[in-house]
Amino acid sequence: MDLLSLKNISKLLSLLGIFISLFFLIPIAGGVIYGENIGDFLLFDLAFFFANLLLFLSLRKHTMSVRIKDAILAVNLIWILLGIAGSIPLILYTPISFADGFFEAISGFTTTGATIYSDIESLPKHILLLRSLMHWLGGIGIIVLGVGLFSLINPTGSMALFKAEATGGKLEKMTPKIRDTAVKIWGVYLVLTILDMLLLMMEGMSFFDALNHAFSTISTGGFSTKNNSMAFWGDNAMILWTTTLFMMLSGINFLAHLRLFNGDSSGYRKEEVRWYFGIFLLLGLLLTVDHILISGDNLLHSATNAFFTIASVMTTTGFASLDYEQWGSAAIALIFLAMLVGGNAGSTAGGFKVSRLVVLGKNINLQVRKLLHPKAITSLYLDGNRITYDVLGVITGFAFLFVLTNMAVTVYLFARGYDVMTSISAAVATVGNIGPGFSQIGPVNNYGFFSSMDKIVLSAAMILGRLEFYTVVIVFFRTFWKRF
């Protein structure tokens, strides 16, 4: 690590810090509107802002040239910075430890939606707004935001940063300059959020709840303003279906939405999107049937909750409309399957991602074909594009890291004395950025009971999942730190 890297990273972090502190003014303003005491929050925010501003100004003459290693390290540090910055207001206003605050903030920024609070409704409104805002900022990727911003001061290195954040996913530009694409994606993000909010308000939510849930839905986060999550509106089928729709939309590649804004619907005709909806419909139908058989509820009620739950888990949002653990083992199995699917590449959803599943599935098909036809010349294709062995290698590596990370977290939690169901589902729910799991962390429970160390481990699991492993794992390789 040389001085140049240090300066590069410091400048990046300070810029992001300034940006975050400006966004924190939104919950502060909220607090003012609702007549809450926000003095400490404001003080912290000002201190945070000026500290970063000072750092930035001191480096203003430094011309950035972000190299790939700088970018990777910066992205890792950004997430730690986010965890710390987000935790402080929480610690200031609620009686929680640093580990609690860090967990909650990372859960927010990684759009996981796992919470340590048991009584959410008692939290001040500006803290609720802060939690949702962390989702919203984290969802679109601080980096996509940053790319637009950083490219202003760093015309050469912005791609390196984008690549470091979006590992595995193919970088698909729609404009010659990545900044223009990033800005447009922001536009789509904003439009979807506002649309969702307005619909929720029309269907009976208050402005505050609608805003928070829109933030939480479009970012596929999962923080709610109510103790029993969306079950609060369990009788309002319209709200549940609207949320289902917007969760599913947020799980699609945002470039597809962007294309639609340009009058081109081809983004939705991709194989990944077809599989995504296919899996959603299949699991939703099965869960509906299962629900009807177990509870005897009517079709509409069953379908509403079943499809809502599958959408919520598949897109890694993590809202709950019912305590799905009471639907029996078959339901739990179906929901667990949905947890492993994830959304589309290029969406706000986390998880394994449908495109990777499709490619791995097609690879098995290809290997079978090659065994049956030894002299056949064939390849892997996705949407008519050949998947090279390089890409397949990245995806299989990802799959292995996904399994490995989940196993490691499961084994750790099990060794700490939690039951199997809690251990496995907590691993999958944090690594996949989903939120709720089963047993002790079921939809009606929370993560508050874990020890401080467990919470730090789970926070790391969330960051690993959010950054899709490689970006984090690479830092632990000796070659990364070698100068030559």
Partner 1 sequence: MDIIIAGAGKVGFELARALSLAHNVTVIDKNAEALERLQGLIDIFTIVGDIDNPLTYKALFGTRADIFVAVTDSDEANLLSTLIVNDAIDVEKKLIKLKNSFFGKSSILDTLEITESVFPIVLSAETIRLLLQYPEANNVKKIPGSTVKLISIQVDNSDYEEELVTSFENDQVKIVGIERCKRFFVPLGTESIKHDDLLYFLGEGKVVEKLYSRLDLKMPLKIRDAVIFGARFLGLEIARVLIEEGVTVKVIEKDLKLCKRASEILQEKALVINSHYDEAILYEEENLASADMVIMTGSQDEENIVRSLRAKEQGIPKVVAINNEKKYYDLMHKLGIIVARGPRTSAYYAILEKIASKTVVSERRYCGGNGIALSRKIFPNSPLIGKKLNPFPQKETIVLLEREGIFLPDLPEIFLLEGDMVFLFVPVSLEGKGRAWISSL
Q: For the range 160-164, what are the long-range contacts, defined as Cβ-Cβ under 8 Å and sequence gap of 24 or more?
A: 160/66, 160/67, 160/68, 160/70, 160/71, 161/12, 161/66, 161/71, 161/74, 161/75, 163/68, 163/71, 164/68, 164/71, 164/72, 164/74, 164/75, 164/471
Name residues contacting partner 1, limited to 383-422 (CB under 8 A).
384, 386
Say what the alpha-carbon torsion angle 149, 133, 74, 146 is, to the nearest 10 degrees: -10
Q: Which is nearer to partner 1, 261 or 381 (CB)?
A: 381
Residue 374 C-beta: closest distance to partner 1, Å: 7
Q: Which is nearer to partner 1, 375 or 478 (CB)?
A: 375
Contact with partner 1 (CB under 8 A): which of 50, 207, 261, 381?
A: 381
Residue 316 C-beta: closest distance to partner 1, Å: 30
Contact with partner 1 (CB under 8 A): which of 118, 206, 298, 379?
A: 379
**Site for partner 1 (CB under 8 A): how many residues?**
11
Q: Which is nearer to partner 1, 170 or 373 (CB)?
A: 373
8 A C-beta contact, residue 262 and residue 230:
no
The residue behind tokens 């802060």 is 130
Ramachandran bin of 154, using left for φ above 0, alpha for ψ from -120 to 50, beta for the remaining angles: beta
Determine the Cα–Cα distance for residues 230 and 323; give it in Å rounded to an integer. 11
Residue 377 C-beta: closest distance to partner 1, Å: 4
Residue 256 C-beta: closest distance to partner 1, Å: 22
Q: Which is nearer to partner 1, 175 or 379 (CB)?
A: 379
**Which segment (379-387, 403-411, 424-432, 447-455) binds partner 1 by CB under 8 A?**
379-387
- Quick note: the x/- pattern for partner 1 over 315-354, rule CB under 8 A, is ----------------------------------------
Residue 274 C-beta: closest distance to partner 1, Å: 15
**Which segment (44-52, 187-195, 378-386, 411-419) binds partner 1 by CB under 8 A?**
378-386
Q: Which is nearer to partner 1, 170 or 386 (CB)?
A: 386
Q: What type of residue is 288?
A: T
Q: Which is nearer to partner 1, 95 or 384 (CB)?
A: 384
Name residues contacting partner 1, limited to 348-377 (CB under 8 A).
369, 373-377
Q: Which is nearer to partner 1, 374 or 417 (CB)?
A: 374
8 A C-beta contact, residue 83 and residue 100:
no
Residue 38 C-beta: closest distance to partner 1, Å: 59
C-alpha dist (Å) from residue 298 to 292, 295, 303, 436: 7, 9, 9, 26
Q: Which is nearer to partner 1, 170 or 369 (CB)?
A: 369
Q: Identify the CA nearest to 403 among candidates 426, 428, 422.
A: 428
263 binds partner 1 (CB under 8 A): no
Residue 353 C-beta: closest distance to partner 1, Å: 22
Residue 273 C-beta: closest distance to partner 1, Å: 18
Determine the Cα–Cα distance for residues 133 and 27; give it in Å rounded to an integer. 8
Per DSSP, helices labelled H in 113-177 are 125-139, 142-153, 158-165
Crossing angle of helices 25-33/3-23, nearest 10°?
Answer: 20
The residue behind tokens 């300066």 is 7
Residue 387 C-beta: closest distance to partner 1, Å: 11
Q: Which residues form the interface with partner 1 (CB under 8 A)? A: 369, 373-379, 381, 384, 386
